[in-house]
Structure 1
Amino acid sequence: MKCTIQPLYPVPAACTVAHLLILLLFPSLLLAQRFGGNPPSLQWRQINTDTARVIFPAGLEAQGQRVADIVHYLNRQARTSIGNRQGKVDIVLQNQTLLSNGYVQLGPFRSEFYLAPPPSSLELGSLQWEDQLALHEYRHVLQNINFRQGISKVFSYLGGELGQAAVTNIAVPNWFWEGDAVTMETALSAQGRGRLPAFFDGFRGLALSGEDYSYMKIRNGSYRDYVPNHYELGYLLSTYGRNHYGQTFWKDVTTDAVRFRGLFYPLSQSLRRRTGHNITGFYQAAMQEYNQWWKEYAARKEITPASPLLPPAKVVTNYRYVYSAGPGQWVVLKSSYQRIPGFYLVDSSGHEQLITRPGSRFDDFFSYSNGRLLWTEARYDPRWGWKDYSIIKMHDRANGKTYTITHHTKYFSPDITPDGERIITAFTTPGQRYGLHLLNAHTGALLSALPNPDNWYYTFPRFTADGGAVISPVRNREGQMALVRQSLADGAATLLTPFSYNVIGAPVVSGDTVYFTGSRKDVNNIYAVTLADKKLYQVTDRPNSVLHAAVSNRQLVFSEFTSNGYSLYTAPLRAGAWPEVDTTVNAHSAWLRPDFKEGGNILDSIPARHYPVQPYHKAYGLFNLHSWVPTFDDPDYSLTLYGNNVLNTASTAIGYTYNRNEGSSTLGANFLYGAWFPYLQAGVDYTINRSVLTQNRGRLYWNELDWHGGFTIPLILSSGLYGRSLSLSSNYHYLQTYARGFKFVDDGVQYLSNALVFNNQRVKAPQNIFTHFGQYLYLQYTHSVDNVPAHQLYGRMDLYLPGLFPNHNLVLQGAYQRKDTMQRYSFSDNFVYARGYNDPFYQHIFKLGANYHFPIVYPDWGFAHLVYLLRLRGNVFYDHSEAYDFRAKVTTRYASTGGELFFDTKIGNTIPFTFGVRYSHLLDQDPADNARNRFDFILPLQQLFSY
C-alpha cells in the first residue's frame, strides 16, 4: 500500500495551492472577482479628503458628495462604540451593475458601493441606498482601522493588509463584523434592518417551532436544515451585549480579541471575563431573551387562524409568491434545498405541476395574469463584468412558449394587463434615475414613461382592475414609503397611504381593494386599502411574517416564513372583521424600536460641505503594493508581495520561491493589466540552482531566466439557467538556461502557450453536489517558435449529469495529451492520470473516467469550534487510460476502480474546506512499482474555483 496526496481532479494552470491558501486565509479577496470589469470609456471623478477618497463615474457628483458628507460625519461623531484610531479609505461607487450590495476589504484597503437600490424593501429597507451603504460600510472601515492593534498590528507589519485581515478574521467572528454594522445603520437612521420585522423571520421561525440549534450549527449553517445567516445572528448578539453591558461593551471585547488577550478563542475568553458567559453561553442567554418576546407575541388571542395549504415538505422548501389561477388552483414560485426555482401550478389536493423555470435574476419576484407569467432575468456584457442588465421574460400557459420581451434593459417587477397587450415595469438607470415604463407586451417597445418629478423609487407596479392606472409602492428621498395610484392617461399620482418608514411589499389588486404586505407591527402582515375612501385595514395578524398573498373567492392564500422555509397558508377573507389602522401610531414592540445612545437619526441633519470634485486618473496607484503573503505548496515555498490598484484593473506580484526537491530559488515579478479588452500580462522569473539527477547519480546544476508576456480574453456568456464563461489566452516565453560545468544541447527555448477554457454550468440547489448539467473544456497547445523542437497538446472535457436521485451526480471525464519525442525540452504536465498510477512514459495518452457522487449523511456536528462537519459524501469511479510508448512501440492500458469518501467541513466556524480519502484498485499492475492497491489523501482543489 502507498499513501500520497493528490487533487481530486487536476487544477487549471492559474489555480495552484498557493492561490488556494491566499483565498482561504484572506476571504476578502473573493469579493474582488470583477477584475477589469468596467469599460475604458467610463470616466472617473473623485472627492479627496483626509478621511476618504470617494471615486465615482462622471455624472454621479451628487451621490459622491452625499457619501463624502456621511462618512466625514461618522468619522468625527460616531466612534464612541468602536474606537478613535484614524485612517483613510478609498470608496468606489459602481453604477453599471444592478446588484444591490457593498463591501469593505483589506488588500487593498477599499470599499465599493453597488448603487442600484434593492427591488424589494422588505429585507433591506427603504432608506436612500447610498445613505444606507455609507452607514453600514463605513462601520466596517472603522472596524478595520480600530482592529489594527496588538498582535493584529504586528501581523499588519509582517504580512501587510492581508496579514491584518487574516488575523482579525480569526480573532473576531464574521457575525460581529456584520451585526455591528447593522446595529449602526439602525442606530443612526430612522430605519435600518434592526427595525424591519422580516430581518428576524429566521430566528423567530426557529423559536416558534421549538428548534434549539447549537451555537456551532448557527455559525456554520446546514445542508439539511434552515439556519439564519450571520447578519441576523450578529445583530441579535450585538444588541443584547449593548443593552445589558453598555455602549462600549463590544469595543472592549473586540480590543481584547484582536490583541489576543487569551491566545485561544480570545473573543470568547473576553466575554467570559466580562459577563460570566463564554460565547456559547452568551448566545444562549441572548436567544432566551428574544425567544420569550417572540413567543409571547405569537400567543396573543388576536392571531389570525390559518390552515396549511399543502402537506409539510420533507426538505427546506420555499413558496415565495402565489397567484390565483382558478378555483382551487394557484401559481407559485417554488424552490428547495434539492430543487432549483420553478413556477408551479398547485391545487388544494397537494398536486404540483412544473410550468417552467426562470433563469438567474437580480429580483425573484414574478407576476401572473390570465395565463401569462412575467419575470425578469439577468444578462451580462460579454467582457465587462460590472455591466449587466435585467430583461423581461414572459411565459404563456396557453401555448407553453416562453418569450423574451426586452433586451439590454434595466427593468424590475413587470406586470401585464389581462388582455396581454401592455406591460408596466419599474426601471433604474446608471445615472440613478427611476420610474415606470409602459411597454408593448408583444414587441417590448416603449409606449410611454410615466412622470416622476421627485425621482421616487418604484417597486412592484400593478395595473388597476380597469387597466387605466397603476398601483405601486414608492420610496422617497428620505427613505419613507407610501402606496400610490398613478394615472396612465395624465400621470397624476395620488397617495393611498401616507409616507412612513414602514416598508411595503408587492400589492395585489382585487376590484376596488388593494392588498399588500406591510411592516406596521412586529411581523409583516397583509393590509388592505380601499381605492374609494383610502381607508387602511389590517387583514392578517400572524405569528411570523407574511411575504405575499393571493385573493380568490373570499379566500386568502399567503406565504409565511417557517423554520422549514416559506409555506402556504389559507384563511377565509372576512372583510367586515378587519380592524382599521391608525397610521399615526407606532405599533412596534419596544425591541423593534431600539435606542442605542448613538445620537439617533443623523441622515436629516448632516451638513452638505460641497467638496471639490477632480478627475481621477485610471493610472493612479497602478502598482499599490499592500501585502506579503507566504504560501506552502510542497515542494514549493514562497513569499510574495502583492499589489492591486483601487479600480481593480492592475495586479502585481513580486516574490521568492524555494523548491525543496531541487534546492532551487526563484525570484519573479509579474504584472497583469485588465482595463482594456484583452488582459495584458508580462513578467520575468530568474531561477538559481535548478538541477537534475543523472544516470550515474551525479547532479547537474544550471540557472534559468524566463521572460514572458501575453494576453487573455475573458468572456462572460451567462444567460438563463446557465453560467457560462470562455477564456482565450496566448503567452510567449523566452527561456534562457545557463549551465554550470557542462553544456546543454540547447541554451534556451522560445515558445508559445495557447489555451482555451470553456465552462458551462446549470445553476444548482443548495444540497446538489454538482450541477445537474454542465461542461468544462480545457485545451492547451504549447510549442516552440525557434529551432528547438518541442510541443505538447493537452485537452480535457468534464461532463456533469444528474444521477438517480436529486442530489446524485454522474461525472464523465475525458483527457488526451500528446508531446514530442525529441525530449529536448519538456513542458509542464497537467494531465489527469488514471487514479492510483504513477506517471507513465508515453508519446500520447488518453483517459476516460466515470464518477458517481452521492451524499451519505448530514451530521451537523462540530468539535471545539475548530472543525464542523456539514456533509459526508461518497464517489465510486472507474478510470481507463492507454499510453503509447514510442520506444517500445507498445500501448499499455492503465485501468483502475475504487471509491472516495469526502468530508465537507468548515474550519474555525468560517472557512469552507473539503478533504477526502481514496481507495484505488489497479486493474493493471503499475510498472513503476508493481502496486495493485493504493490509498490516497484527497484535496479537491478545483471545487473552490467551480462556477
Structure 2
Amino acid sequence: MKLACNALHSNISTLAYKHIRTLIFTFAYLHICILSASAQNFGGNPPSLKWRQINTDTVRVIFPAGLETQGERVANIVHYLNQHTRNSIGNRQQKVNIVLQNQTLESNGYVQLGPFRSEFYLNPPPSSLELGSLQWDEQLALHEYRHVLQNMNFRQGISKAFSYLGGELGQAAITNIAVPNWFWEGDAVTMETALSPQGRGRLPAFFDGFRGLMLDNKHYSYMKIRNGSYRDYVPNHYELGYLMSVYGRTHYGQTFWRDVTTDAVRFRGVFYPLSQSIRRRTGYNITGFYKATMQEYEHEWQQYANRPAITPAKPLNAPANIVTNYRYVYSAGPGQWVTLKSSYQRIPGFYLIDSTGHEQLLTRPGNSFDDFFTYNNGRILWTEARYDARWVWKDYSIIKLYDRASGHTVTITHRTKYFSPDITNDGQSIIVAFTTPKQQYGLHLLDAHTGAVKQVLPNPENWYYSFPRFTADGQSVISSVRNRLGQMALVQQSISSGESILLTPFSFNVIGAPVVAGDTLYFTGSWKDVNNIYAYTLADKKIYQVTDRPNSILHGAVDAQQQQIVFSEFTAGGYKLYSAPLQASQWRPLDTAVDAHSAWLKPRLEESGNILPIVPHNDYPVKKYPQLTRPFNLHSWVPTFDDPDYSLTLYGNNILNTTSTAIGYTYNRNEGSSAVGANFLFGGWFPYLQAGVDYTFNRSALVKDIGRLYWKELDWHGGFTIPLLLSSGKYGRSLSVGSNYHYLRSYPDGFKFRDEGIQYLNNTLVFNNQRIKAPQNIYSHFGQYLYLQYTHSIDEVPAEQFYGRFDLYLPGLFPNHSIVLQAAYQQHDTMQRYSFTDNFVYARGYNEPFYGHIYKLGANYHFPIAYPDWGFAQLIYLMRLRGNAFYDYSQAYNFRTKTSRRFASTGGELFFDTKIGNTIPFSFGVRFSHLLDPDPVEATRNRFDFILPLQQLFSY
C-alpha cells in the first residue's frame, strides 16, 4: 500500500489533457493512501510478543497472550452484531480479522480494506468527556464492526466491479468516493449510541462544535463543513455525520441510509450518486439536507441557550483574531492563572495570565497522548509521549515537571505508562494513574524527585482511574473512576489504608478532572444538556451545580481569596476562559436520580437498544497464531501511470503487517520495453529484510552510426533497512539506515556490451527532525532533513555515485512564514561504464547539465497569501493560497574541460491547497523561474512550470 502511494511521486513531462484519464485513477488511489497512512504500523511489534486467536466462521480475533478475556468478549459482541443489527445496513456476509493491540497508549481503532482487517488500540482514553466511559474494548467493537458491515455491504454494482478490477483497494477507492467520510463515521457513532447505554451521541461535549457555531451565529456552507478550514474552527466529520445520520433515521426511517448508500455505491446517477439518491427520497439535495439537519438541531440548542438561568460570566482576556484554545486552568495566586494555550498559529504552551489579560509564556510541553496537566505551588506536571526506537507500536507516557522558581524542566520517570499526575503541596510526592499492556489499572504513589514507586494503591475491582487529586492534607486521593460497566463515579481513597469510599453513585454521566479547594471538590459533569461545573462538599456529602452555561465547560479553577471561578468553555473560536463570581448561596442541589437530558441527547434510533448485558457468553477455543500466517496474502491490483512508465502491481500484506509483497508488470513507452518483477519485505525482526527480482526485456537505445540496439536485463536484489523512531518532546525524529545488494545482468541481442553485468551496493541514511507545528504553519519553525546515498560497484566494473541533501527549516518574519534553506551535492565516477539513478534536484528552471560533480544551494521563503474557504459544485474546494520566493545557486564541474559552470535562478511559486471532491487533499501550483545563467539545453531565460509539491507535472 505504501509502495502504491510512493509511486505517485515521480516526474511527468507532458500536457495535462493527455493525462486526465491518469489523474482519475491517481486521485482514487491517492485517496486510499490517505485513508490508510495513519493505520499502518509496518513491523511495529517485537517478535517476543506471542499471539493467540479465536477463529470462527464470522471473525478471527487475534490478540497477545494474556488478553483471552478481551478477545473472547470482542468475538461474542461481533457475533451478536452480525446476527442482530443488519437491518439498517444490509445482509451481505464476509469474515473479518480483528487484531487487538495492547502495546500502545493511543486510544483508537480502524477498519481497512487491503487487506480487510480491523485493529483495536485497547488502552482507554484518559478523559471520558469526548469519547465516553464505556468499557473501551466493547465501544470499539460496537463502532468498528459497523465499519466492517459497511465495507461488506458496499460491495455492490460498480463498487463490486472495481473489487474485481482492483481487488480490495479498488473497492475501497470507489466506495470512499461514492460515500462521504461523514456517513462512515456518523453511522458508526449512531450504532455505538443505539446499542449501548451511552455512546458519543449521548455526550454533551460531542455537540460543542456545532453548538458553538450556532451561538456565534456562524452558518457555514456544506462544502466548508465537509472540507474544514485553516482560518476558522470547523467541526469534524464524526459530529456532522452523526447529526445527519440521526436526522435521516428520525424523519425517513431506519433503512433510509441503507437505501441511499446502496444507490451511491452502485452509482445510480453517475454524478453525485449519494446526493441524487437523497433528493429522490426527500426532495433535498445534499446541501439542502444538511441545512434541514442544522435547522432542526439549532432550534433546540437555541432554546436551551436562551434560558434565563444561564450563569453570567465575562471573558478573562480579549478575544483573539484566530482560533485559540485555553484548555485547562489553575489558580496561581490572587488574580493569576496558569493555563495551557494553543492556537492555529502557535503550538501549545503553559502561560501565566493575570486579571488584566496579560499573558506570560512559562514553558512548552511536548507531544502527549493526553494534554491534561496540573499545577500546585509553582510546579507544573504533565505527561509526554515517548516511543520505542524500533517497535512503533510500543510507546510510553512519562512525567515532566516544570518549577517556576528555578525555570527548569526535569523528567521524573522513564519508560512508564502514566497519566494525570498530581503533586502534594510540599512537592515531595506524586500520585499518578497507570495502565499496563495486560489491561490492569490503578494508582502509583511516586517519589517526586526520583520517580520511584513508593506505594501501589489497591484496586481490587480494576477500576480505570482518571485525574487523581490529593486532598488538601495530602492523606487521601480523590479520583474519577470507571467500572466494568462503563459507569463513572468520584472516589476518595486513603493513602495509608487503601480504603476507598464512593462520593457519588455510579452512573453513565461522564465526569471530568476534579479540583480540590479546601473541603470542596469542583469537577465537570454531564448531567445536563451541556457539561457544567459541579461541586461536591465533603462536609455534607452533597452535589451542587455551580455553573449553568449555554455550551460545555471543560475545566474550572477557584480563586478562594477573590471568590472567583474561572473556567474553560467551548466557543466558535476555540476554548475560551471566562470568570464568574463564586457564590455558594446560588448553587442548586443536584438530584442525581433525575435524568435532566433533553430529547436530542436521548435519541430513539430504532435499533435493539443496549445489547451489552444480553450478548451471550460463548467459550471459544483459543489457539496460537503464528506471526507468519499467510505471509503473502495478495489482496489488490494497483495501476500506476507515471509516463513513460505504465504499471500494474499486485500487492499483499499479512494481517499482522509484518510482510509486504509486490508483484508487477511495467511498460516503458519511450523504449517499448516491458518488465516483470517481484519484491518481498519482512519487518518482523529488528532490521527490515528485503529481497526481489526484476526482469526487463526489449530494452533499447538509439546509437549513432549503428542504429537501435536491444537487450534484456535481470536485476536480483536484497538487503536490509533499520528504521528508528527517535521522537521526543516537541520534535518528531526518525533515522533510517539501509543497504541493498544488486546483481544486474544484461543480455544483448546481436551485439556485445563492454560490461554485461555489474554488482553494486546501494547504501542510504535518512534523518528527519521536525518541531511540531500549528495548523496554519506551512512548515516547521525548526527542523532538519538529511539524505545520504552512496552507491558503488563491488566487482571489476568501476562505478560509483554519492548524493547528499540537507534541508534546514527556520521561522520567518511572521508566525506562519517559513524559511527553508537547502544544500545538495552529487558526484559520480567519470569512467562512464555504468550510470546509477540520478536523484539530484537541479536549480529550478534548468535542464540537467554535464558534470562530474555538482552542488546546489537554495533559499526559500514560504508565506500564506489568503484562506478563501471557497468551493465549486462539490468538485474542488480552495482552502489556502500560499507563495514562495526562491533563489538557487549551483556549480557543476565539467571533468572534460576542467571548468566549473554556474547555474543560478530566482523566481516565485504560487501554490493552491485544495480538496478534490470534498475528500482528497491536493496541492498544485505554478512556478516562474528566471535563469541568471544560460541553460545547457534551451536558450530561454524565463520559464513557467505547473508543479506539484513533490513533483513536476508538466511544463510549457
TM (normalized to structure 1)? 0.97
Correspondence for 2:255 among 248, 251, 256: 248
- Corresponding residue for residue 880 of structure 2: 871
1:397 alignment partner in structure 2: 404
Q: Distance in 1 between matches of 2:896 and 2:47?
A: 54
Give 1:454's match in structure 2, choosing from 446, 452, 461.
461
SS, match of residue 903 in structure 2:
strand
Question: Deviation of residue 740 (structure 1)?
Answer: 1.1
Contact 2:27 2:920 in 1 (8 A): no
CA deviations over 1:702-736 (Å, ceiling 9, x no partner): 11000000000000000000000000000000000
Give me the whole-angstrom Cα distance separating, in 1, the residues matched to 2:169 and 2:36.
Answer: 9
- Contact 2:12 / 2:643 at 8 angstroms: preserved in 1? no
For 1:679-758, list aligned pairs within 5 A.
Answer: 679-696=688-705, 698-758=707-767
Q: 2:165: which partner in 1?
A: 158
Do residues 119 (structure 1) and 134 (structure 2) align?
no
8 Å Cα contact 1:644-1:651 kept in structure 2: yes
Residue 781 of structure 2 corresponds to residue 772 of structure 1: yes
Output one character per residue of 1:671-691: Cα deviation in whole Å (capped at 9) or x when no partner.
000000000000000001111
Counterparts of 1:614-653 in structure 2, within 5 Å, are: 614-653=623-662
Q: Given the alignment, which residue of 927, 930, 954 partners 1:921?
A: 930
The aligned counterpart of 1:609 is 618
Q: Deviations over 1:428-462 (max 9, x none)?
A: 00000000000000000101010000000000000
Q: How much does 1:942 deviate?
A: 7.8
Once the two structures are aligned, what percentage of the paired residues are identical?
77
**2:791 counterpart letter in structure 1:** T
What is residue 354 of structure 2 aligned with on the other side? 347
What is the CA-CA distance between 1:316 and the residue it aligns to? 0.1
The counterpart of 1:891, out of the listed 880, 887, 900, is: 900
Alpha-carbon deviation of 1:604?
1.0
State the match for 1:523 in structure 2: 530
Task: Report deviation, 1:48.
Answer: 0.1
Instruction: Give, in whole Å, the separation in 2 of the partners of 1:729 and 1:360.
Output: 28
* 1:942–1:615 distance in 2 versus 1, CA, 3 Å: farther
Amino acid across the alignment from 1:181: A
Deviation, 1:510, is 0.5
Residue 654 in structure 1 maps to residue 684 in structure 2:
no
Change (3 A) 1:451 1:6: farther
Structure 1: distance between partners of 2:840 and 2:855: 9
Amino acid in structure 1 at the alignment position of 2:84: Q
CA 1:6/1:700 → structure 2, altered by over 3 Å: closer, same or farther? closer
Residue 890 of structure 2 is aligned to residue 881 of structure 1: yes
State yes or no: 1:793 paired with 2:807. Answer: no
SS of 2:371's partner is coil
Matched, 1:430 2:427: no
Separation in 1 of the partners of 2:807 and 2:388?
26
Spell out, residue by residue over 1:824-878, the C-alpha distance to the aligned partner (whole angstroms, 9 max, x if none).
1000000010000000000000000000000000000011111100000000000
Residue of structure 1 equivalent to 2:94:
87
Q: Deviations over 1:606-637 (max 9, x none)?
A: 11101000000111110000000001111111
Tell me, yes or no, if the aligned pair for 1:52 and 1:91 is still in contact at 8 Å: yes
Describe the SS at the equivalent of 2:589: coil
Given the superposition, is the C-alpha separation of residues 17 and 235 from structure 1 closer, same or farther in structure 2, using an over 3 Å criterion?
Answer: closer
Tell me which residue corresponds to 2:18. Answer: none
CA deviation after TM superposition for structure 1 residue 327, in Å:
1.3
Are 1:229 and 2:236 matched, yes or no?
A: yes
**Is 2:806 aligned against 1:812?**
no
In the alignment, is the contact (CA less than 8 A) between 1:20 and 1:941 conserved in 2? no
Structure 1: any 5+ residue segments left out of the alignment?
8-15
Residue 566 of structure 1 aligns with an amino acid whose one-letter code is: Y
Paired letter, 2:167: G
Q: State the distance in 2 between where 1:927 and 1:425 align.
A: 66
Show the counterpart of 1:386. 393
Of 917, 920, 923, 1:908 maps to 917
State the superposition RMSD in angstroms. 1.4
Distance 1:40 1:660 in 2: 44
Give, in whole Å, the separation in 2 of the partners of 1:462 and 1:909: 45
Instruction: Give the C-alpha shift of residue 47 in structure 1.
Output: 0.1
Residue 536 of structure 2 aligns to a residue in which SS?
A: strand
Q: Give distance in 1, aligned partners of 2:309 and 2:891.
A: 74
AA at the equivalent of 1:549: G
Aligned equivalent of 1:186: 193
Q: Shift in Å at residue 28 of structure 1? A: 3.2
Q: CA deviation at 1:693?
A: 2.1
SS in 2 for 1:233: helix
TM-score by length of 2: 0.96
Q: Tell me the CA shift for residue 306 of structure 1.
A: 0.5
Deviation at 1:23, TM superposition (A): 3.8
**2:518 aligned residue (511, 517, 527):** 511
SS of alignment partner, residue 467 of structure 2: coil
Q: Distance in 1 between matches of 2:892 and 2:193?
A: 65
Displacement of 1:178: 0.1
- Please give the alpha-carbon distance, in whole angstroms, between the structure 1 residues aligned to 2:705 and 2:730: 60
Aligned residues of 1:6 and 1:939 also touching (Cα < 8 A): no
Contact 2:31–2:173 (Cα < 8 Å) also in 1 = no
Q: 2:793 aligns with which of 765, 775, 784?
A: 784
- State whether residues 5 and 937 of structure 1, in contact with CA within 8 Å, keep that contact through their aligned partners in structure 2: no
Q: Distance in 1 between matches of 2:944 and 2:28?
A: 25
Selected match of 2:298 from 265, 281, 291: 291
Counterpart among 512, 537, 543 of residue 536 in structure 1? 543
**Partner Cα separation in structure 1 for residue 869 and residue 705 of structure 2:** 56
> Residues of 2 paired with 1:185 and 1:697: CA distance?
72
Shift of 1:890: 1.1
Match of 2:20 in 1: none
Equivalent position to 1:469, from 468, 471, 476: 476
Alignment of 1:26-425 (within 5 A): 26-425=33-432
- Contact 1:32/1:648 (8 A) holds in 2: no
CA distance in 2, matches of 1:755, 1:885: 26
The corresponding residue for 1:675 is 684
* 1:843-858 superposed matches below 5 A: 843-858=852-867
Instruction: Tell me the CA shift for residue 19 of structure 1.
Output: 9.6
Q: Distance in 2 between matches of 1:18 and 1:829?
A: 27
Residue 163 and residue 143 in structure 1: after superposition, are their counterparts in 2 closer, same or farther (change >3 A)? same
**Partner of 1:460: helix, strand, or coil?**
strand
* Unpaired segments ≥5 residues, structure 2: 1-10, 15-22
| Pairing 1:599–2:608 present | yes
SS at match of 1:180: helix
Task: Tell me by how many angstroms 1:17 deviates.
Answer: 14
C-alpha contact (below 8 Å) 2:468/2:479 kept by paired residues: yes
Provide, for residues 161-220 of structure 1, a one-character-per-residue CA deviation record: whole Å limited to 9, x for no partner. 000000000000000000000000000000000000000000000011100100000000
* Distance in 2 (alpha carbons) for counterparts of 1:241 and 1:127: 26
Shift of 1:695: 2.4
Alignment partner of 1:582 out of 588, 591, 602: 591
Q: Secondary structure at the match of 2:76?
A: helix
SS of residue in 2 equivalent to 1:200: helix
The equivalent position to 2:836 in structure 1, one of 827, 831, 846, is: 827
Matched pairs, number: 932
Structure 1's 199 and 144: CA in aligned 2 closer, same or farther, altered over 3 A?
same
Q: Deviations over 1:894-913 (max 9, x none)?
A: 00000000000011111111
Counterpart-to-counterpart distance in 2, 1:634 and 1:416: 62
CA-CA distance at 1:941 after TM superposition: 2.5
* 1:21–1:631 CA contact under 8 A, matched in 2: no
The CA deviation at 1:418 is: 1.0
**Which of 545, 553, 556 is the equivalent residue of 1:546?**
553
Rounded to whole Å, the distance in 2 between the matches of 1:24 and 1:551 is 48
